[in-house]
Amino acid sequence: MANLSNPVMSSSALVEPRPLRVGLLGFGTVGEGTYRMLLDNAESVAAKAGIPLVVQRVGVRDTQKPRSAPSGLFTSDLQSVVDDPEVDIVVEVIGGIDPAVALVERALANKKPVVTANKEMIAKVGHRLVNQAHKNGLDLHFEAAVGGGIPVIQALKHQLAGNDVPRMLGILNGTSNYILTKMSETGAPFDEVLAEAQGLGYAEADPTNDVDGFDTLYKIAILAGIVYGGPADLDQIHREGIRHLDAREFDYARILGYTIRLLGVAEECGPRRVRLRVHPTMVKNDHPLAGVRDVFNALWFHGDFVGDLMFSGRGAGADPTASAVVGDLIDVARNYNLQGSGSAIPYGQSLAMEPMETVESRYYVRLNVLDRPNTLGRIATAFGEHEVGLAEMEMHVVGPDEGEIAFLTHISKEGDFVRSLTAIEELPVVNMVAAWMRVEG
């Protein structure tokens, strides 16, 4: 971070360096956690950074709220924080786009490095911000934006960067993983478990971002941007949430030896060509991701040289997320102290995106059928005519003249599989395709 001067250090190496002064934008879950960690661990943070870090000013919406920090720190004029010459570095933990993006742009224009936890901002305009930081030789770090306390971004940017990465699979949203774990283990329906998650403070009053897959979409886009070297068009990422999942799918998953997880999936389909998708997935019980329960997050990564890796840990909450923010701050402070250059790694061209039709996967499907002698044969023929091979099956009578069949297929092309379902839905012995899902493991 060449353009931040530290006059006390440069005038004499013997003089105690003056602290790095932090301007905190936001004092909610993450902001308060970051403040507390900087206080509680002040000594070890200063020792590792080579310079003390102090919170100089805090921007919030409501300065009248009771806070766990001296009231003199707070202001509702957030622009004054990023413009303050006594603020050396800006931490953005407000969230969302407005006013976060404008404030980060202004901080960078003011030659201040930035640390943020804001996945929506980084997924939508991160390439622009990172390029701005890079041009100015500034740091822009966002470890907390994906996986909370799990140090996955730095690992992908640096230590794993030499690998070609055919696939990454992530459980990237704690709220939805908690809901899926409870639905699977208690048999309770979605609405009941969501209400419980809200009561425990895991899910927000408006749970859309979490349960409809937006949060996971932002996170897998950020990871893909780092691994494949360019921004992804968010509109071309396939997204399904977990609201529609029926308790029956959890029953069949259990019988067949699987568990259901909301996955963010990134696959390399050619040079700078990727397919990104977010959807509930049946994960085989012996896959490492199947054991990731409750609010935990995980990233399963396959690199051509390193092989399979999995990172897991707490993906949300004040303390784990503060751990990631403070880790980034220490990185910036080391640069500041050593007068190093900014470490923002610029994005390249936008990634080319591959359509869902070309996914190759195994599939689960549950059909409601008429309980007739020729039902199974006609369904199996329709799958076969579309190049879809069947691997496993569970069949139950559920009423007079009514049956339910759950199939697991062999690996098939998604286009073939979807066309087979259209044909099957038209068979006179099929009442409906009740549900289907992609399968891992």
Chain residues binding ligand HSE by CB under 6 A are: 148, 173-175, 210, 215, 315-316
Angle at the Cα of 195 (from 190 to 196), degrees rounded to 5?
100
Among 144, 253, 332, 424, which residue interacts with ligand NAP (rule: CB under 6 A)?
A: 144
User: Rounded to a whole number, what is the largest CA-CA distance in the chain?
Assistant: 91
Among 3, 15, 47, 61, which residue interacts with ligand NAP (rule: CB under 6 A)?
A: 61
| 148 contacts ligand NAP (rule: CB under 6 A) | yes
Do 322 and 33 form a contact (C-beta atoms < 8 A)?
A: yes
| CA 24/CA 78 separation, integer angstroms | 9
Which segments within 195-306 are labelled E, that is strand?
A: 238-239, 258-270, 273-284, 296-303
Q: Which stretch binds ligand NAP (CB under 6 A): 80-88, 313-321, 382-390, 397-405?
A: 313-321
Which CB atom, from 314 or from 386, has the smaller least distance to ligand NAP? 314
CB within 8 A of 50, min separation 6: which ones?
Answer: 17, 333, 334, 337, 338
Q: Where are the alpha helices (DSSP H) in 229-355?
A: 247-256, 318-338
| Catalytic entry in 112, 119, 182, 219 | 219
Among 119, 134, 275, 366, which residue interacts with ligand NAP (rule: CB under 6 A)?
A: 119
Which CB atom, from 55 or from 421, has the smaller least distance to ligand NAP? 55
Beta carbon of residue 341, minimum distance to ligand NAP (angstroms, whole number)? 27
Q: Total residues contacting ligand NAP (rule CB under 6 A)?
A: 24
Do 433 and 425 form a contact (C-beta atoms < 8 A)?
A: yes
Which CB atom, from 221 or from 253, has the smaller least distance to ligand NAP? 221
Beta carbon of residue 35, minimum distance to ligand NAP (angstroms, whole number)? 11
Beta carbon of residue 151, minimum distance to ligand HSE (angstroms, whole number)? 15
Which CB atom, from 118 or from 259, has the smaller least distance to ligand HSE? 118
| CA 374/CA 377 separation, integer angstroms | 5
Which CB atom, from 298 or from 379, has the smaller least distance to ligand HSE? 298
Residue closest to ligand NAP (Cβ): 28
| 203 contacts ligand NAP (rule: CB under 6 A) | no
Which CB atom, from 95 or from 241, has the smaller least distance to ligand NAP? 95
Coil, helix or strand at residue 389: coil
Burial of 42 (0-12, 13-18, 19+ CB in 10 A): middle
> What are phi and psi for residue 392, nearest 5 degrees?
-145, 160
Instruction: Give residues 253-312 in contact with ligand NAP (rule: CB under 6 A).
Output: none
Question: Which partner from the list ligand NAP, ligand HSE, none does 175 bind, CB cut-off 5 to 8 Å by kind?
Answer: ligand HSE
Beta carbon of residue 215, minimum distance to ligand NAP (angstroms, whole number)? 8
Coil, helix or strand at residue 262: strand
Which CB atom, from 142 or from 383, has the smaller least distance to ligand HSE? 142
| CA 44/CA 22 separation, integer angstroms | 17
Does 413 qualify as catalytic in the annotation? no
For the chain, state the CA radius of gyration: 25
Among 38, 90, 91, 93, which residue interacts with ligand NAP (rule: CB under 6 A)?
A: 93
C-beta atoms surrounding 125 within 10 Å? 17
| CA 6/CA 15 separation, integer angstroms | 11
Beta carbon of residue 109, minimum distance to ligand NAP (angstroms, whole number)? 19
Among 17, 23, 31, 280, which residue interacts with ligand NAP (rule: CB under 6 A)?
A: 31
Question: Which partner from the list ligand HSE, ligand NAP, none does 43 bind, CB cut-off 5 to 8 Å by kind?
Answer: none
Do 20 and 51 form a contact (C-beta atoms < 8 A)?
A: yes
- For ligand NAP, the binding residues (CB under 6 A) are 26-31, 59-62, 65, 78, 93-95, 99, 117-119, 144, 148, 316-317, 321
Q: Among all residues, which ones are annotated catalytic? A: 219
